[in-house]
Amino acid sequence: MSGTIQLLTDTLAAAKAEGRSALIAYLPAGFPTVDGGIEAIKAVFDGGADVVEVGLPHSDPVLDGPVIQTADDIALRGGVKIADVMRTVREAHGATGKPVLVMTYWNPIDRYGVERFTAELAEAGGAGCILPDLPVQESALWREHAEKHGLATVFVVAPSSKDERLAKITAAGSGFVYAASLMGVTGTRASVGAQARDLVERTRATGTGLPVCVGLGVSDAGQAAEVAGFADGVIVGSAFVKRMLDAPDDAAGVEAVRALAGELAEGVRGRS
């Protein structure tokens, strides 16, 4: 099975054709267990998510706030491995037919082997990777293997990114551009902030044809609707993870994220 970047591209284009933003959800692999994480992803798709990012748990994250760090710690204590991440992608995509990406820092891929990682992700039906700490100027090796296996390379831009850097990132990336709504780490916030709209406008001004999707801080349908007013996609992570952490048991957690996906899906359709 080859990578499914085309499925990702088609999914984002279909949302645009419907006059709405895409809903992109994030959940870490292995949380609360590998099987439980797979069921949660299926539930999020069932609730209305268009795309899911599967997080590769990391012991020293630079972008993730305390909620996702807590979930990563649970997954790591449970012994989650890259093979479990690949299994999560395979089963979630296989059960739903929808695009599934991996979000990971560079070090695990570097240690695992770029060719091995990209080949296995493509075989699992993955659509690509979001690589928040891989500088575009050091990404040639990754992009060579990702392109070989039909995988998207999604880079992260931030409000601090200069226009020249934005142009380089959009030229090198594929799938979509991940626009961090504000400086800082992941987590739910009372307001997404005006910086997000400005960043989307500056990213589009590079002339890129890639969708620009906004993450960091979106936690409810109202915020999703706000971001959907100017972005091609709305990315939600910590809010899903928190629903699972707050649930009394794994089954309740699965139902909680299904319900949240439904609320957010209404938001991106302007019906919050």
d(CA 109, CA 103): 11
d(CA 107, CA 183): 22
d(CA 99, CA 118): 16
- Enumerate the domain spans of the chain: 5-268
pLDDT for the residue numbered 184: 42
Indicate which residues carry an active-site annotation. 53, 64
pLDDT for the residue numbered 63: 63
Grouped pLDDT means (10 residues each) for the chain, 272 residues = 83 96 97 97 98 91 77 94 98 97 96 98 97 95 97 95 95 96 48 79 96 90 92 95 95 97 94 50
pLDDT for the residue numbered 3: 67
DSSP string, 32-94: S-HHHHHHHHHHHHHHT-SEEEEE---SS-SS--HHHHHHHHHHHHTT--HHHHHHHHHHHHH
CATH of 5-268, one of 3.40.50.1390, 3.20.20.70, 3.40.50.1820, 3.40.50.300: 3.20.20.70
pLDDT for the residue numbered 62: 60
Query: What is the model's pTM?
Result: 0.94
In DSSP terms, 136 is beta-bridged to none
d(CA 67, CA 149): 33
pLDDT for the residue numbered 58: 86
Q: Are strands 156-157 and 177-180 parallel, antiparallel or unpaired?
A: parallel
